[in-house]
């Protein structure tokens, strides 16, 4: 079930609203996600609204350079990333740990083998 959430970085410079279904989140073991401990949920770009912090967001890309990982230049947290789904649709990947009011201990987690890519 889709629900509206607010989220952002640690220092509060980057803030957003997003509509997500947290019925299942993804944990990836790629070199980046494994170090950050991300729980990912994905939303169409139209379901994401950046409220503040565009000027404080620093982009990082690696591997195939198809995902723009957005870090706060003040606190270093990556609250979201932008990318394109295999079908060509624009999307955002949200670090569920950066959402307000979400107990990650209660989530159903699907493991993804990003190391194999």
30: tokens are: 């790629």
In 25-84, DSSP assigns E strands to 25-28, 40-44, 48-52, 57-60, 68-72, 80-84
**Segment 7-52, tens digit of pLDDT:** 999 999 999 999 999 988 988 888 777 888 888 999 999 999 999 9
DSSP β-bridge partners for residue 91: 44, 83
The CATH number of domain 2-112, selected from 2.170.150.70, 3.90.380.10, 3.40.50.261, 3.30.230.70: 2.170.150.70
Half-sphere exposure of 83 (CA within 13 A, CB side): 19
pTM: 0.86
Residue 45 and residue 56 in contact, taking contact as beta carbons nearer than 8 Å: no
Give the single-character DSSP code of 6: E
């Amino acid at each position: 079930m889709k629900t509206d959430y607010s989220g952002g970085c640690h220092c509060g410079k980057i803030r957003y609203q997003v509509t997500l279904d947290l019925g299942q989140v993804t944990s990836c073991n790629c070199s980046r996600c494994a170090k950050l401990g991300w729980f990912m949920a994905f939303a169409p770009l139209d379901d994401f609204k950046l409220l503040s912090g565009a000027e404080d967001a620093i982009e990082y890309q690696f591997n195939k350079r198809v995902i723009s990982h957005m870090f706060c230049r003040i606190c270093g947290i990556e609250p979201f990333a932008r990318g394109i789904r295999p079908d060509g649709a624009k999307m955002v990947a949200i670090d569920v740990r950066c959402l307000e009011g979400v107990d990650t201990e209660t989530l159903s987690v699907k493991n993804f083998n990003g190391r194999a890519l």
